[in-house]
Structure 1
Amino acid sequence: MFTSPGPELFQLGPFVLRWYGLLIAVAVLIGLNLSSWLARERGLDANLISDLLPILVLAAVIGARTYYVAFEWSSYQRSWWDVFAIWKGGIAIHGALLGGSLAVILFCRWRRVPFWDVLDVLVPSVVLGQAIGRWGNFFNSEAFGVPTDLPWKLFIPEGNRPGVFKTSEYFHPTFLYESLWNIGIFVLLMVLFRLGRERKISLPSGALSCVYLLSYSLGRIWIEGLRIDPLCLGGQPPFCDGGLRIAQLMSLSLMAIAGFGLFWLYGRKSPLPDPGLKQADPS
């Protein structure tokens, strides 16, 4: 059984250190070092990652918040200032991926470097960061699944339970499911990267990114089906009755894109079009 000790690690006067913030900081630090090393292994300038990181983090946060607010706009009608109150919660990983991808495209066009090579050295850090960051949901007692009596059940305080489940105490720890799934993806990506570096398998530019999108989206589809706080299109939580779960729709779309990308690379044996290179640049 899992029980959160609370969202705060410690408080010193007005300063409060929250577990979520600490985990995100750790994930960013690990990601910087890991992607810098992978960049060197791929033959890129490792300084590219440190130059990109502040832009990438800012774009990901803005994208994650904008995405969430767009689908929860009705909740902000009374006080639109709350749109900027990100410390109150309300971000979405798919928005972070969209915002981050746009930032990488613009950065690559500015620095004239291949987009897919840069993205390939970023995605292992991204998925590892997702695995670490999901534990923030545990400390905040949020983003959990439907009630369960399984041995690894998660206790949720009454104040964090939705009204329809006020009498239930234990829920699926979907944060744990996704964290473990993401760790598995991280291991897969690192193994593929090493095999490609040693030329034991064919791993053209963009293949690693497609594998990430395909595998992450596959796991997110089934995990999202357990959650009771989904963003809904045409329905209401906890089950989006009469509507659809946005994360599942986005995951299906990303799976289709990733599958097409892999077909393009291995079926047609052609390199992926590079959105980071201007038309006038040699390719």
Structure 2
Amino acid sequence: MNRVAFDLFGIEIYWYALIIVFGIVVAMWLSTREGIRANLKPDDVTDFMLVGLPVAFIGARLYYVLFDLEPYLADPIQILNIRSGGLAIYGGLIAGGIWLYFFCRRNFISTWTFLDIAAPSVLLAQGIGRWGNFMNQEAFGANTTRQFLESLHLPKFIIDNMEIDGIYRQPTFLYESLWNVLGFIVLIILRKKNGFLKQGEVALSYVIWYSFGRFFIEGMRTDSLYLFGELRVSQLLSALLFVGAWALLIWRRKKVTNLKPYNRSYGKDQFII
């Protein structure tokens, strides 16, 4: 499949970019709707994204460059060449999370509130975004056969595009996309059960869900970033996040006495852990 969607004044616009933008728009729309239910201002999400989006892209790029540093030391200008690829979702989430903390402090919004509102939508956007990897023929797994792909009952266009350099590959982009979309559905169901989750636990459930799936799917990929030897950066970070999120969830349940339930109506309030 052609990775170029169309030309705009001589500039090639990639499907990857269009799909990423679509995922962001969907996430903003859903988060804004939920934010209104939680008594936030309609433009709180938009105000956050005005700075948060470029910050997240910078973080995603720096994360990728940091763990694949050698080629960029040889040609530093390529750090700015994001059209050649090289964005890491974990870097974007870390950078966006740092900005979120300062944004919420400045606007007197509970950070946990904003995270609970945004988390399911972010997971859905990640699921959508993986189809950009599909169009670029990246984020794929080990060699496989067409017969195996057909046994998964995949549409023909997916099977055809998984033939890369004459070899069929595991569609790990699809595995993660489906995992993320399923996680979005699970989080939405849990979030709608008033009183089932406490404040902040939608966000922590997101971390648990995503890191668990990413750990195993990352192990199947052949284009991972490595810390040293065979230690994959994303697998290590996924393991730390999974354990850390569970530990924080349990600790908050036991130690935080004023922990409120997520009931779509706590909006702006005091900062609590």
TM-score tier by shorter-chain length is 0.7 to 0.9
CA change 1:13–1:36 in 2 (3 A) is closer
Identical pairs, percent: 36
- 1:174 alignment partner AA: T
Q: Counterpart of 2:112?
A: 116
The equivalent position to 1:30 in structure 2, one of 8, 26, 35, is 26
Q: Counterpart of 2:82?
A: 86
8 Å CA contact 2:111, 2:271 repeated in 1? no
The equivalent position to 2:66 in structure 1, one of 61, 67, 70, is 70
8 Å CA contact 1:204, 1:271 repeated in 2? no
Q: Counterpart of 1:145?
A: 141
Moved more, 135-144 or 45-54: 45-54
Report the TM-score, using the length of structure 1 for normalisation: 0.84
Find the aligned partners of 2:125 and 2:35 in 1 and give their Cα distance: 17
CA deviation profile, 1:9-53 (whole Å, cap 9, x unmatched) = 122550322111111111121111100111112222232111101
Q: CA deviation at 1:70?
A: 0.6
Q: Counterpart of 1:157?
A: 164
- 2:19 alignment partner AA: L
8 Å CA contact 2:110, 2:271 repeated in 1? no
Q: Counterpart of 1:185?
A: 183
Equivalent position SS for 2:2: coil
- 1:129 alignment partner AA: A
User: 1:1-283 to 2 correspondence within 5 Å?
Assistant: 5-149=1-145, 150=148, 151=150, 152=154, 153=159, 155-158=162-165, 169-196=167-194, 199=195, 201=196, 203-235=197-229, 243-270=230-257
Find the aligned partners of 2:224 and 2:107 in 1 and give their Cα distance: 38
CA deviation profile, 1:50-89 (whole Å, cap 9, x unmatched) = 1101211111101111111111111112210111111111
- 1:176 alignment partner AA: L
Q: CA deviation at 1:169?
A: 1.0
Ranges in structure 2 where 5+ consecutive residues have no aligned partner: 260-269
CA change 1:6–1:121 in 2 (3 A) is same
Q: CA deviation at 1:96?
A: 0.7
Find the aligned partners of 1:70 and 1:78 in 2 and give their Cα distance: 13
Find the aligned partners of 1:218 and 1:10 in 2 and give their Cα distance: 37
CA deviation profile, 1:77-114 (whole Å, cap 9, x unmatched) = 22101111111110111101100100100101111211
Q: Using CA pairs under 8 Å that are at least 6 residues apart, name the structure with larger relative contact order, 1 or 2.
A: 2
CA change 1:97–1:270 in 2 (3 A) is farther
Moved more, 7-16 or 138-147: 7-16
Q: CA deviation at 1:282?
A: 7.5
CA change 1:244–1:271 in 2 (3 A) is farther
- 1:186 alignment partner AA: F
How many residues in Structure 1 have an aligned counterpart in Structure 2?
251
- 1:34 alignment partner AA: L
CA change 1:282–1:115 in 2 (3 A) is closer
